[in-house]
Amino acid sequence: MSRRVAALTRRFGADHEGPWNDTLDLQLAHRSIRRFDDRPVSEEILRTLIAAASSAASSSNLQLWSVIAVTDRDRIERLATLAGDQDAVRNAPLFLVWLADFARGQRIAEARGLEASNADYTEATLLGVVDATLAAQNAVIAAESLGLGTVYIGGIRNDPTGVAEELELPQRVFPVFGLSVGYPHPEVDVEVKPRLGFDVVCHWESYGLAEQDPGIAEYDERAEGFYRSQNLAGSWTGRIIDRLTVPTAFGTRRRTRQALEARGFPST
């Protein structure tokens, strides 16, 4: 079996003809790693990851993102608690907190006697979040190419105020998500998680909603089999329903808008 066939079958349950290379092989093998061994991640590797992150696209080259690298065990412990008491944070040798950052731009404007009023628009908030996300994903691919494992931590938004205090974030800086980075523990055996198929997520020329139903049904069956193999109950559509309809599903993150405003992102 070729690498292409194996990778596409693991991810989508089927193969398709098309080009293939080492980069595609790496991307389709992505897994979230939540358990790490004790090896530290060197500063040289960190600098390489940030170089990759900085090479991501940035709207108008504004570069409205920053990242805080945390290796202090006590600080990582506190961040793990703030992020929902997650061992995936607690046990990481390196924890990266990705930030939407307008403090830098505001400082530049104020040094010239100007007001950074355009940072108040929702569009500006989106620019910062998108910039941080693109940078982080570049870092993830770079990390995996070096034999490291990663997992995104959305729980960093559970308590943005607590995270801001812990990391001494100035106003106009918001923690978008965390990223645990480390060498996978030798006992880690995480399978590649199935994803929605091409005909569900890719639309030709215009959006089609009802046309997705057969692909969703097919995916739900594959995903449910994967969950069973991981000793997890339920289906993918069940998870969608729970997250979108249960009033308490987002927990403290239901107050994200207020948290953004408190951090200087009024999003007018």
Domain termination residue (choose one: 185, 215, 243): 185
pLDDT of res. 189: 86
Check whether residue 95 and residue 13 sit in a common domain.
no
Answer whether residue 116 is part of any domain: yes
Check whether residue 102 and residue 215 sit in a common domain.
no
pTM of the model: 0.96
Check whether residue 17 and residue 43 sit in a common domain.
no
Distances in whole angstroms, Cα of residue 119 to Cα of each of 139, 178, 268: 26, 23, 9
Check whether residue 13 and residue 59 sit in a common domain.
no
Answer whether residue 267 is part of any domain: no
Provide the domain limits for residue 122: 31-185
Q: Is the pLDDT of residue 1 over 80?
A: no
Q: At 15, phi and psi to the nearest 5?
A: -105, 160
Check whether residue 83 and residue 15 sit in a common domain.
no
Which pair of tokens denotes residue 250? 């987002």
CATH code of residue 124? 3.40.109.10
Q: Is the pLDDT of residue 64 over 70?
A: yes
CA distance 268 to 177: 23
Check whether residue 54 and residue 153 sit in a common domain.
yes
pLDDT of res. 5: 94
Mean predicted confidence (pLDDT) in 151-172: 98
Answer whether residue 247 is part of any domain: no
The residue behind tokens 């505001």 is 106
CA distance 179 to 97: 6
Dump pLDDT digits (tens) for 196-240. Answer: 999 999 999 999 999 999 999 999 999 999 999 988 899 999 999
Dump pLDDT digits (tens) for 145-154. Answer: 999 999 999 9
Check whether residue 10 and residue 111 sit in a common domain.
no
Answer whether residue 1 is part of any domain: yes
Mean predicted confidence (pLDDT) in 166-195: 96
CA distance 12 to 268: 41
CA distance 47 to 74: 23
**Among residues 57, 53, 64, which one has the least CA distance to residue 105?**
64
Answer whether residue 233 is part of any domain: no
Answer whether residue 68 is part of any domain: yes
Dump pLDDT digits (tens) for 92-118. Answer: 999 999 999 999 999 999 999 999 999
Which pair of tokens denotes residue 245? 């309809």
Answer whether residue 190 is part of any domain: no
Check whether residue 127 and residue 3 sit in a common domain.
no
pLDDT of res. 249: 95
Q: Is the pLDDT of residue 162 over 80?
A: yes
Type of residue numbered 161: T
Mean predicted confidence (pLDDT) in 11-28: 93
Q: How many residues does the chain have?
A: 268
Mean predicted confidence (pLDDT) in 148-167: 98
Q: Is the pLDDT of residue 267 over 90?
A: no
Mean predicted confidence (pLDDT) in 233-252: 95
Q: Is the pLDDT of residue 264 over 80?
A: yes
Is residue 268 very low, low, confident or very high in pLDDT (cuts 50, 70, 90)? confident
Q: Is 86 exposed, middle or buried (0-12, 13-18, 19+ CB in 10 A)?
A: buried
Please give the mean pLDDT across all residues of the chain: 96
Check whether residue 54 and residue 103 sit in a common domain.
yes
3-state secondary structure of 211: helix
Query: Could you tell me how far CA 70 lies from the centroid of its own chain?
Result: 17
Answer whether residue 159 is part of any domain: yes
CA distance 6 to 12: 10
Domain termination residue (choose one: 185, 208, 238): 185
The CA-based dihedral angle spanning residues 121, 127, 130, 133, taken in that order and rounded to the nearest 10 degrees: -100
**Among residues 47, 94, 51, 90, which one has the least CA distance to residue 70?**
94
Check whether residue 50 and residue 168 sit in a common domain.
yes
Distances in whole angstroms, Cα of residue 28 to Cα of each of 9, 104, 190: 10, 36, 14
Mean predicted confidence (pLDDT) in 115-138: 97
Conformation bin of residue 166: beta by default, left when phi > 0, alpha when psi is -120 to 50: alpha
Q: At 185, phi and psi to the nearest 5?
A: -60, 145
Q: Is the pLDDT of residue 58 over 70?
A: yes
Domain count, the chain: 3
Check whether residue 221 and residue 179 sit in a common domain.
no
Which pair of tokens denotes residue 141? 């691919």
Check whether residue 21 and residue 36 sit in a common domain.
no
Q: Is 62 exposed, middle or buried (0-12, 13-18, 19+ CB in 10 A)?
A: middle
pLDDT of res. 188: 86
pLDDT-above-90 percentage for the chain = 94
